[in-house]
Amino acid sequence: MSKPLVIVESPAKIRTLQKHLGKEYNVAATVGHIMDLPSKEIGIDIDNGFKPKYTHIPGKTKVITALKKAAGNTFDIYLAPDPDREGEAIAWHAAEALKKKGRRFHRVLFHELTKTAVLEAIKSPMELDPNKYEAQKTRRILDRLVGYRISPLLWRKVKGGLSAGRVQSVTVRIICERERAIHAFVSEEYWSITALLEADAPPPLTAKLTKKNNKKIAIPNQEASSAIVNELANEKYIVDKVVKKTTKKNPPPPFITSKLQQEAINKLRFTAKKTMMVAQRLYEGVDLGPGEPVGLITYMRTDSVRISAEAANEALAFIKETFGGEYAPAKPRFFKNAKKAQDAHEAIRPTSVFNSPEKIASSLTKDQLSLYTLIWKRFVASQMSHALIDKVSITVKAGAYQFSAGGSTVKFPGFMALYTPSDAEKETAKKQLPKLREGMELAPKKIEPKQHFTAPPPRFSEASLVKELEENGIGRPSTYAAILSTIRNKGYVDFISGYFRPSELGFIVNDLLVENFPDVVNVDFTARMEDTLDKIEAASESAPDVLSKFYGPFNEKVDAAVTDMLNIKGVGFSTELKCPECGVSLHLKVSKYGPYLACDAYPDCSYTSDYVRDEKGVIKPMESQSAAQAVQQNCSKCDSPMVVKRGKFGEFLACSKYPDCKNTLSINSGHNGKTTGVKCPEKKCAGDVVERKSKRGKIFYGCSAFPECKFATWDKPIAQGCPQCDSIYLLEKTTKKSGTRRVCPDKACGYTSEKII
């Protein structure tokens, strides 16, 4: 009889689990999902209760064969994929692949990969959870219905290779709406007045004008500002009130997934995707010594702040031993979950606080140590005493005017001796104030008026977008990293200087989806659907009923869109611009090479142009040098005028008699060739990467500063930062097997995008 088999998702866990379980068990991995809906058909029997047609994922045959071999003739199989909905689906599919007469399947949940937790889970197995599996299956069906019904419409109406997604499309809409709010914003002028006042002893007091005659003051322009400054010149500055109070500041709870991503982005400059990759490794196990793999954190996909009493008490013991009794409260601190939080897992915490970052630093990579330190400090701080903050609020009167100043100092650091959240760092910054008493006269040393302008709403960073998704109930914490990667890889958004901006393609696709599928890309609708999936997991909603209610109206919208959705390949969006050649309206269209402007009088008028949007979002045609050259150049084969065309690699000249004459000519900008828009990555080089040709005529890419700079590559550089590391560009690689993909030039990073062509 074969040994009992434990099945996990990731091969990285095998060694850790084998160490904890010993030789009495075999351990194998599914390497993610082994079954899914088929890739070449919708795979859902809509008329039969939306029954999914699951098939083995191509390429997983060897994995399934290896699982069957590992199972042998054992009776007991312990299904231990990750403790979430996706893990539950993997467990069900593994059981389906390995079912055998007399064989028993047990579900075990490893919330942390420590020996105690692993052995306890094996001793207390559960049944597979049909409700959790049903919730995951429903989500997969919903995503497939949306993707497989809408994406072909986009292929026909806009461009091949596009996709729509139930969550990704809403995320793109959020980014587009923020960008349009920025475009529509009209900045307004306002002024502030600050007084630098001196008391009997330093430091001076910096106070801001806030009121006149006890009413909030607004200073619209320089004229109003100057008038106030003139009035203040003759006033005495008297301390009206000095209010001192000590406030308590409680520590934040341990991390949930979304908060970990936000804090890692803000403090460590990690991406959301990188955060989850590093956290996964810490969870799966790290060698702390020869043959000693240890899972260092609890499961990293969670929206619960719950922690075990054992972990809290261990933290208290550590705090008393390390910081002293005054830093430890009398009893453990437990936090209340948000209403929508699923409570399947604990918060993200170290599996043992005694594995301090300093103690295990030599066993971790730089990134692992940085993230582990963040998680460890946040958890330990959550069990420490509150901080005491002394706050001082000062009011100074100058005739009818009132100035205000304030500051805070830390009376007792409490948890802040170890950890301060990034959103509280400015709040607790020390600010020195002079000792003042009410009625004291202050000497004005400087009255400084300053001009300001109201600012538009900011673009989303990764951290603020994750926060926006979380607050609106879009997706789940475990999906945020994938969402942010997907919308970039699909070309719907650009990530420039740390902020998301919609691409032209993103604007176009978003506008079409909002017009034709307002519910699918509606923030509230999507959030309600996430709540509904939770209800299916809790067995308070029926999956077939949910799918039926969704599909009826959705199917009607799809049928209507087949005829009603605007064809961007053909008609295109109308604009207010007129054709410079014939005066007819210009329309915004999309070819397989990207968006462009075209005359609506085509084929009578063949005017086309690239375009840009100004800071207000107004479309501006781009008249390139190549267009001017085209007017002056005739075809070398038939003497007909050459015209500018757009291709995969940009503009080129083509004979106007095409297809009768197929002569073309490349357009180069300068002796170095076309620029790629990528700055030379070599240190201390200010050159640009441009297209060049080898002696044999093969295209490669090199620095414009050659021969001083020798940088060169055969792969085309793309002006897009790597979503996983700090590389300022990606390379476009094409192979017969994988097609065209964008990859990181840093082999240690290993980032590869989805297939583009």
- The secondary structure of 218-257, three-state, reads CCCCHHHHHHHHHHHCCCCEEEEEEEEEEEEECCCCCECH
Strands (E), 573-655: 573-578, 585-591, 594-599, 608-613, 619-622, 642-647, 650-655
Q: What SS3 state is found at 662? A: coil
Element (H, E) at 310: helix 309-322
Helices (H), 441-522: 462-471, 480-489, 504-516
Q: What SS3 state is found at 64? A: helix
Residue 628 CA, chain-centre distance (Å), reads 42
Name residue 525's amino acid.
F
Whether the CB-CB separation of 508 and 568 falls below 8 Å is answered with yes
Integer CA distances (angstroms), 690 to 353, 554, 648, 680, 714, in order: 53, 47, 16, 9, 11
C-alpha closest to that of 258 among 294, 302, 222, 220: 302
Active site residue 54: no
**Which residues lie across from 51 on neighbouring strands?**
45
Radius of gyration of the chain (CA): 32
Calpha distance 31→10 (Å, rounded) = 5
Tokens describing residue 26: 């075999």
Calpha distance 350→112 (Å, rounded) = 9
Calpha distance 218→538 (Å, rounded) = 53
Q: What sign does the dihedral 467-471-472-473 (CA atoms) show? A: positive
Calpha distance 347→357 (Å, rounded) = 19
Enter the DSSP assignment of 637: T
Whether the CB-CB separation of 159 and 417 falls below 8 Å is answered with no
| Catalytic residue (choose from 133, 237, 283, 299) | 299
Calpha distance 382→18 (Å, rounded) = 33
Enter the DSSP assignment of 130: H
Q: What SS3 state is found at 727? A: coil
Residues marked active site are found at: 299
